[in-house]
Amino acid sequence: MQAINYYIIVEKIKEKPKSEGGFVLTETQDDDVRYLKGRVISVGDQVNSIKEKDIVWYDKHAGHGIEFNGNFYLVIKHGDIVIVE
């Protein structure tokens, strides 16, 4: 599977549930989080500063999901990435 143009294929990294005041917040309760973390699987030929296996932070409303070989991935545009670790 290879991304093209300005697209990036990302596999979401599951974050551990956060606790606040002794209460465990599930992913659906943590609505204040604007960005999610993912591992780059493939980058398009028009993307320069991001490479495969990078850990990136991207807007949680970005892109669309696809299923490939039984795995779920997110296809996003390079402009939706805000941080590269």
CATH of 7-84, one of 2.30.33.40, 3.10.310.10, 3.40.190.80, 3.30.70.20: 2.30.33.40
Q: Say what percent of the chain tops pLDDT 90.
A: 74
The confidence score (pLDDT) of residue 29 equals 47
In this predicted model, what pLDDT tens digit does every residue of 8-44 receive, in sequence order? 999 999 876 666 666 665 655 456 678 999 999 999 9
The confidence score (pLDDT) of residue 66 equals 96
Q: 36: closest CA among 11, 54, 18? A: 11
Q: What's the mean pLDDT in 45-72?
A: 95
Higher pLDDT, 80 or 17: 80
